[in-house]
Amino acid sequence: MATKRSFFDRLSGNAAVGDTFDSFDDEMPIAQVKQKDQKKQAHDLIAKIPAEDDFPSDGEGQLPVDVHQTANDIIVRAFVAGVRPDELNISINRDMVEISGSRMEREQTSGSDYFTQELFWGSFSRAIMLPQEVDVEASSANAKDGLLTIILPKLDKARQTKLKVKAG
């Protein structure tokens, strides 16, 4: 009769000479272990999908953005298809950009006539904390083909200005 090894022996890899034991799951066949792992992976994947409760209850959507930098600028890009430039509000301060607007459905369709409804209609906003201070006055925004691009020049903190003192 084979004796069951202790947890410590299994964990540390201590094995008696001639012992062919190499699994921590000695009571569970390999097929059941794989099936258990597959169920866990499926559960983890489903858990990442946002539920309706995860969205703001006020009906406002959050605008997805890309933010990257070059040597001199911080660039923010967002898809705003279906939104006219005059319907966008962009507010910038030295360390934050806030984009808000509204995308209204041009035609009304009843819910029962939809096969799939994934587009977001309504107001949206996004506040982006910037990794570095920017020059608010020199910033620019452009919307072309549904892509909003905001260019925010970085402030050069190392740059120095010499002031002349006036007498008088």
CB 101 within 8 A of CB 87: yes
Q: What is the pLDDT of residue 104?
A: 78
What are 25-37's pLDDT values in tens digits?
A: 555 555 555 566 6
Domain 58-105+121-153, second-level architecture: Sandwich (2.60)
User: Residue 82 pLDDT > 80, yes or no?
Assistant: yes
CA–CA dist 68, 61 (Å, integer): 22
Q: How confident is the model at residue 57 (pLDDT cuts 50, 70, 90)?
A: very low
Average pLDDT score over the chain = 76
Rg (Cα) of the chain, in Å, rounded? Answer: 29
Strands (DSSP E) found in the chain: 61-62, 65-69, 73-79, 89-93, 96-103, 122-129, 140-144, 147-153
Domain boundaries, the chain: 8-48, 58-105+121-153
- Nearest Cα to Cα of residue 139 among 98, 84, 103: 98
Beta strands at 147-153 and 65-69: parallel, antiparallel or unpaired: unpaired
User: Residue 165 pLDDT > 70, yes or no?
Assistant: yes
What are 106-130's pLDDT values in tens digits?
A: 777 777 777 887 777 788 889 999 9
What are 36-51's pLDDT values in tens digits?
A: 666 666 555 544 444 4
pLDDT exceeding 70 applies to what percent of the chain? Answer: 61
What are 134-153's pLDDT values in tens digits?
A: 999 999 999 999 899 999 99
Mean pLDDT of the 65-86 span: 91
Q: What is the pLDDT of residue 152?
A: 95
